[in-house]
Structure 1
Amino acid sequence: MRRTLSEIREVLVPDLSGRHGPLPPLLLVLTVVTGLVDAFSYLALGRVFVANMTGNIVFLGFALAGASGFSVVASVLALAAFAAGAVAGGRLAHRAPWHRGRLLLSVTVVQTVLLLAAWVVSRVADPPLDGGVRWALIVLLAVALGAQNAVVRSLAVPDLTTTVLTMTVTGIAADGRLGGGGGARPGVRVLTVVAMFLGALAGAALIVHGNTDVPLLCAACVVAAVALALVPLRRARGSWTG
């Protein structure tokens, strides 16, 4: 327990001179954003994810099999837009000179713009969000999350992927004492699961109570806050920057 609490503290209050500097808490915040945005996409846009692509591949199989409530077009569009965002994020991550702070700043600025655009679309559109409005929102959000995932993958902060939690949950169980392991980084892994859960809970609660567009506005504001936190760090020097 002491080790777990120590790891949680290291993520929330990181050593700025350490290997990953200020990145862990910022990536944890982006994990909350993932939960918010996927809550919106699934509940408001109809059984489609814009961040967790595993779900869309499964949904695509359901749709092709003729299961009701699933859309081939929505699943394929989300996958294609996410891939396009990942390509853009990959190109951003591989350009020189490379600085982890500037890289994350760049992608969060782009994300803020895309999320705000999605919020405006959802705000002015008449409910339900279907037809062209639905397709536009899927594209905007999936591109934003695809770019985020590509950049976060390049940053390579252990157990802070901001999206994929299947292996995180597997690691908590398999690497724990019951699984015969030493419980490697349980604190970090638990934090990521909790962060996405809280984002999904908040997003779903807002939508269920009639505030359909608010999760997107919250997500945009949170990502913008991450970008602002990175502005003074864009010229920082240290082991965490490269």
Structure 2
Amino acid sequence: MITALRDAWATLVPDLSDRPENRHGPLPPLLVALTVVTGLVDAFSYLVLGRVFVANMTGNVVFIAFALAGSPDFYLAASLTALAAFALGALLGGRLGVRFAAHRGRLLLAALAAEAVLVLAAYLCCLLLPHAESGHARYVLVVLLGLAMGAQNAAARRLAVPDLTTTVLTLTITGIAADSRLAGGSDSRIGRRLLSALSMFLGALVGGLAALHGRTGLPLLLAAVLLVLAAAALARPSRSTPPWTRTAA
């Protein structure tokens, strides 16, 4: 337990000195924040837009199969739209990765800015469009959020901070069990892995409560605020070039 807490603390409050061994600088806590964003956004998309994910593409692939099998509870067009938008967003994130390949801080800052604009646009759609959860408005929201989450996932992949992919937990949870002392491992990075899972859980919980018991677009507003705060936190570090800004080994 002490090891897990120490590891989680080091993830949330990393050593920001310029020593070469500090390979990820301020990136880990920012990626934890993005994991919370994923929970918020997917809670909104699933609960408000109707059984479609905009970040969890594994779920959408399964939903497409269910729809093709004849289930009336899943919507083929919505899942296909989310999948296409996510792929296009990942393409955008990939281009940002090439553009800012020499500086991981600037890469994440660019991705955060793009994502914040898209999520804010989705929130405004909720405010301005009647019945945003149905009809054409629903697909506008799916596209905007799919683009945002695809760009986020591509940027996180390029940053390559272990166990902080921001949208996928399957391998993270596998690592918690497979690397545990019960399995003969050393509990490597267990605190970070547990923190990643907890972050998505908390984002989904808060997003679910906001969507079901608050205003429809409230999860998106909360996600946008987190994105803006993360971008603000990264603005100053992105002006310098300490060792962590270079491509991860």
TM-score interval for Structure 1 and Structure 2 normalised by the shorter chain:
over 0.9
Question: Matches of residues 116-195 of structure 1 in structure 2 within 5 Å?
Answer: 116-127=120-131, 129-195=133-199
Q: Which residue of structure 1 aligns with residue 40 of structure 2?
A: 36
Give unpaired runs (5+ residues) of structure 1: none
Is residue 229 of structure 2 the alignment partner of residue 222 of structure 1? no
Task: Spell out structure 1 runs of 4+ moving beyond 3 A.
Answer: none
Deviation string 1:82-138 (CA, Å, 9 cap, x unpaired) is 000001100110125621111100010111110110001011222361111000000
* In 2: Cα distance, 1:220 partner to 1:206 partner: 14
> TM-score of the superposition, structure 2-length normalised?
0.95
* In 2: Cα distance, 1:35 partner to 1:97 partner: 28
Aligned to 1:158, what secondary structure does the other structure show? Answer: coil
Task: Write the letter of the residue equivalent to 1:101.
Answer: G
* In 2: Cα distance, 1:176 partner to 1:40 partner: 34
Give unpaired runs (5+ residues) of structure 2: none
Aligned to 2:166, what secondary structure does the other structure show? Answer: coil
Deviates more, 1:69-78 or 1:126-135: 126-135
Is residue 181 of structure 2 the alignment partner of residue 199 of structure 1? no
Alpha-carbon deviation of 1:45?
0.2
Deviation string 1:11-41 (CA, Å, 9 cap, x unpaired) is 1110113110000000000100000000000
* In 1: Cα distance, 2:4 partner to 2:43 partner: 29
* In 1: Cα distance, 2:64 partner to 2:41 partner: 20
% identity of equivalent residues: 57
> TM-score of the superposition, structure 1-length normalised?
0.97
Question: Matches of residues 56-67 of structure 1 in structure 2 within 5 Å?
Answer: 56-67=60-71
* In 1: Cα distance, 2:121 partner to 2:179 partner: 42
Check 1:200–1:235 CA distance in 2 against 1; reply closer, same or farther (3 A cut). Answer: same
Task: Write the letter of the residue equivalent to 2:190.
Answer: P
Is residue 8 of structure 2 the alignment partner of residue 4 of structure 1? no
Alpha-carbon deviation of 1:177?
1.6
Q: Which residue of structure 2 aligns with residue 50 of structure 1?
A: 54
